[in-house]
Amino acid sequence: MTDMLKPPVRYTAALEHPQADEAETVAEMEQAFDTILTTTSKDYGKAVRAVHAKSHGILKAELSVHDDLPPELAQGLFAAPGVYPVWMRFSTNPGDILDDAIGLPRGLAWKVMEVDGERLPGAGGRTQDFVMVNAPAFAAPTPEKFASNLKLLAKTTDKAEWAKKALSYVLRGAEAALEAVGTESTLLKTMGGAKNIHPLGETYFSATPFRHGAYVAKYQVVPVSPDLTALTDVVVDAGGRPDAIREDLQASAAKVRGEWEVRVQLLRDPEAQPIEDAATPWPEDASPYLTVATLRCDPQDSWAADKVAEVDEGLRFSVWTGLAAHQPLGGVNRVRKPVYNHSAQYRERFNGCPLHEPG
């Protein structure tokens, strides 16, 4: 099949098309973040992340980059075989810490340690971050729509959790009806219509494009070990259990041997695979996901106090933390850099604790 595919497109700056008003959009997003951050820090007595505030579990893992990769895949972090320590953080996307009965999209952020090479501007340490969601496309196509979604999240932060739970029940029914006829709605899922699927059985996507060394790609993490695939599509019962997902993840992590494949989807057709429209999935018939590495973890306590202190409290995750070879691309990624820095700086100021990138 790969013989019939178009060759991968080489990276060039001309693939991106920045808009003149992106600075204004960033200012709007920072204002929305400030609303979320000031509200939640007042509620919790500490500053939490403006997005993906609620963590469900933290795993210590290991990344093994495969050998004998073809040249177009052997790029950046994956240029040579190697083994790296990794932190994995599973989360839910809003900036307030909600009852798990509210069905929302899930995230997986993972930080690869001891990574050497030319860094992105402003990226300290020796790490490479991957920030993923359990959907193949981003919830907003452009910076403007991203800002609009953030404003909506800001308006609903700290508002009537009982109403959000009731709305989530209704929206999940609507989303199930759409899926029954072969479609789905990112908006319904974002607003509370997502199924409460066990995070360890989920497939995660970068959703937005990145440089893949000399090429361009999106990334995917897929559960492959039997212990993980047994959890795929398993719905967590959150009735009367506000932290049900964390509890079920902790119970599972204590006994499972986790193995995920890290896959790369190369840019081969710029029309079918747009850089500046983050909400459009790249069709797999134009470019399939190809495996470049494996993530593995042993049974462990996914909510141990030392992990919570080191990772949930002491680290930040950003698509702009890493190698120049994995530069984030497209408008949504461009505005993520200043606004995520803005959020991290607020956490540092409010909590009086600098967020250090591991060396």
Mean pLDDT of 306-327: 93
- Give pLDDT tens digits for 144-180: 988 887 777 777 655 444 343 343 343 334 333 333 4
Contact predicate 253/228, CB 8 Å: no
Residue 238 identity: A
Residue 166 has a pLDDT of: 41
Q: What is the pLDDT of residue 94?
A: 64
Q: What is the mean predicted confidence (pLDDT) over 218-222?
A: 98
Extract the tokens encoding 50.
């403006």
Note the pLDDT of residue 52.
Answer: 66
312: amino acid identity, one letter = D
Three-class DSSP category at 110: strand
At 229, which helix (H) or strand (E)? helix 226-229
H/E segment holding residue 171: helix 161-180
pLDDT above 70 covers what percent of the chain?
86
Beta-carbon contacts of residue 10 (< 8 Å; ≥ 6 apart): 214, 215
Within its chain, how far is the Cα of 159 from the centroid? 25
- pLDDT one-digit tens code per residue, 95-119: 667 788 877 788 999 999 999 999 9
> How big is the chain by its Cα radius of gyration, in Å?
19
Phi, psi values for residue 266, rounded to 5°? -75, 145
H or E stretch at 258:
strand 258-266
For position 173, what pLDDT does the model report? 41
Neighbours of 152 (CB within 10 A): 14
Dist. CA 99–CA 163, nearest whole Å: 11
Residue 21 buriedness (CB in 10 A; 0-12 / 13-18 / 19+): exposed
pLDDT at 48: 67
Mean pLDDT of the chain: 86
Confidence at residue 174, expressed as pLDDT on a 0 to 100 scale: 36
pLDDT of residue 189: 42
Whole-prediction pTM: 0.88
How many residues are present in the chain? 359
The label of the residue with tokens 């009731």 reads 166
In the DSSP assignment, the letter for residue 236 is P
Among 133-142, 297-306, 308-317, the range with the most confident prediction by mean pLDDT is 297-306
Q: What is the dihedral of CA 24, 27, 33, 37, to 10 degrees?
A: -170
Asked if residue 136 has pLDDT above 90, the reply is yes
